[in-house]
Amino acid sequence: MEAEQHFLQLVKEQLERVERLKNKPAAVNFKDQIVIGYCSGDGIGPIITDATIRVLQKLLADELESKKIVLKEIQGLTIENRLAKNMAVPDDVLAEIKTCDVLLKGPTTTPSGGSAKNIESANVTLRRELDLYANVRPVILRDEGIDWMFFRENTEGAYVLGSRGIEISDDLVFDFRVITAPGTERIARAAFKYARDNGKKRVTVVTKSNILKKTDGKFWSVCMEVAKEYPEIQVDEYFIDIMTAKLLDTAERASFEVFVLPNLYGDIITDEAAQIQGGVGTAGSANIGDRYAMFEAVHGSAPRLIELGLAEYANPSSLIKAAEIMLRHIGFIDKANKLATILGEANQKIKVTGNVADSKCLDITEYILANL
C-alpha cells in the first residue's frame, strides 16, 4: 500500500537524521568579519525590515565603516518568487543565505493547507536547512519582575514532517509528530546552560506527556537526564494546558524563569507570552544552531494590515528586538544593551498598534534613531 511505503520512507529518513544529530559538527566561532544577511520578506516585512536596517546602520556605523560588519541584502525570499519557483526557499536564495554568518529575516507568507500552490513555510525550511534547533524567545514584564526565556525546540515535533502527512482517503488523514533523544538533548542543554549562565534557579519543561506518552514522555525523560548535570537548578514539568493558564495567573507567573518545550507548544505559548508583554509586535525571536543563526519577529507578514492599507502602521519593534538579540549573539553586548534601553523607552512613549488612531512605523523608528 502506498501509505505504508510512505511511512517506511519517513522512518528511514528520520533514523538517518538521528544519526546525523549524533555526529554533529563542532560549533563555529565568529571570524574577523561578520556578515549579517537580511531578507525583507512579504506583507509588512519590507517596511519593518527597512526600519530595522536603518537602526542597525546608525548603531553600527563604525563597524560598517571598518568592514568589521557587513550588511548584505538578500533578494528573492518573497512569496512571488517562491511560488514562481515552487520552492519554499529557492536554491539560489539559500546559497546566498549560507554565505552569511547570521540572518535577519522579515516575515514571510505561507499559503495555508488546501490552497492551490502549497509550498512549505520559509521559516520551517530555513530552520531545518540551517539546523537552527533552538528557538529562543525572551519576554519581559518589568513591572512584575518577569524575565522569561523560552527555549522552543525548532526542528522536530509537529513541524519536521508537517508537509509530509498521509491522505489515506477523503475521510482519513494523518500527520506525524517526531521527537528524538539527541534533538531533545541539545535544546535541553541550551536551556539549562542559559539558566546557569544567567543565574536562573528554575527550568520548567512543558509537555502533554500524560496523553502523548511516547513523544512527550521522551522529551521529559531526556530533559530530566540533562537536568542531572545542573543540580543547582530546580526542574519541573507542567502540562501545556495548565501552562497557558498559569501565564495568566499574576500571583504565580513571576516564579517561572526558563521554559523548554517541544516545537508546537513553544509556537503557541510564545505568542501568548508576547501578548502578555504588550503584543506579538513587541517580541523578537532567535533561531540558533551551531553554525548559523536567524533572527526574526514572532509574528507573520500581517496580510490583514496590508488588505486594509495600513502597512505604515505596522510596529517594527519585534524585528528591532530581534536585531538586538542578534547583536548579543555576535558579541556586541554594549550595543545590544543600548538598543534594548531605547527600544523599551520608545515602546513606553509611542504606541504602534496597527490602528490609525495610534502612531506609525516611521514615528517609532525616528524616535529610536534620534536617541541612539
Between CA 28 and CA 366 the distance in angstroms is 36
Judged by beta carbon, residue 120 or residue 267, the one nearer Mg ion is: 267
For residues 361 and 43, is the Cβ–Cβ distance under 8 A?
no
Alpha helix ranges (H) inside the chain: 2-22, 45-59, 61-65, 79-85, 91-98, 122-129, 181-197, 215-227, 240-246, 263-277, 303-307, 317-329, 333-349, 361-371
Among Mg ion, ligand IPM, none, what does residue 123 contact (CB within 5–8 Å per kind)? ligand IPM
| Shortest distance, position 285 Cβ to ligand IPM, whole Å | 6
Angle, alpha carbons 248-254-257 (nearest 5°): 110
C-alpha cell at 35: 556578515
Q: Kindly tell me which of 162 and 217 has the beta carbon lying closer to ligand IPM.
A: 162
255: three-class secondary structure by DSSP: helix
The CB-of-306 to ligand IPM minimum distance in angstroms stands at 16
Contacts with ligand IPM by CB under 6 A lie at 110, 121, 123-124, 267, 298, 300
Indicate the residue among 41 and 90 with the shorter CB distance to ligand IPM.
41
- Least distance (Å) from ligand IPM to the CB of residue 101? 21
Whole-angstrom distance, CA of residue 1 vs CA of residue 101: 45
Question: Which of 153, 156, 216, 267 is in the footprint of Mg ion by CB under 5 A?
Answer: 267
Q: How many residues contact Mg ion, by CB under 5 A?
A: 1
Three-class secondary structure of residue 137 per DSSP: strand
Nearer to ligand IPM, 271 or 358 (CB): 271
Q: Which does 41 bind (CB under 5 to 8 A by kind): ligand IPM, Mg ion, none?
A: none
Closer residue to ligand IPM in complex, CB, 136/235: 136
Question: CB of 365: closest distance to ligand IPM in angstroms?
Answer: 23
Q: Which three cell numbers stand for residue 89?
A: 526557499
* Close Cβ partners of 116 (under 8 Å, ≥ 6 residues apart): none
Task: Report the nearest approach of Mg ion to the CB of residue 208 (Å).
Answer: 18
Using CB under 5 A as the binding rule, whether residue 156 contacts Mg ion is answered as no
Name the closest residue to ligand IPM (Cβ): 121
The contact pattern for Mg ion, residues 209-248, with x = CB under 5 A and - = no contact, is: ----------------------------------------
Residue closer to ligand IPM, measured from CB, 124 or 140: 124
Q: Which amino acid is at 269?
A: I
Sign of the alpha-carbon dihedral angle for 124, 130, 131, 134: negative
Q: What is the CA radius of gyration of the chain?
A: 21
Is 296 a binding residue for Mg ion by CB under 5 A? The answer is no
Q: CB of 321 within 8 A of CB of 165?
A: no
C-beta of residue 311 within 8 angstroms of C-beta of residue 320: no
Nearer to ligand IPM, 123 or 215 (CB): 123
CB under 5 A: which stretch of 69-77, 148-156, 267-275, 335-343 binds Mg ion? 267-275
The answer to whether the beta carbons of residues 209 and 237 sit under 8 Å apart is yes
Q: How many residues does the chain have?
A: 372
Question: 124 contacts which partner out of ligand IPM, Mg ion, none, CB within 5 to 8 A by kind?
Answer: ligand IPM
Helices and strands, number each (H, E), in the chain: 14, 12
Closer of 274 and 327 to Mg ion (Cβ)? 274
Pick what 300 binds: Mg ion, ligand IPM, none; C-beta below 5 to 8 Å, kind-dependent.
Answer: ligand IPM
Residue 78 CB, nearest distance to ligand IPM (Å)?
Answer: 15
Residues of the shown chain interacting with Mg ion in the complex, contacts defined by CB under 5 A:
267
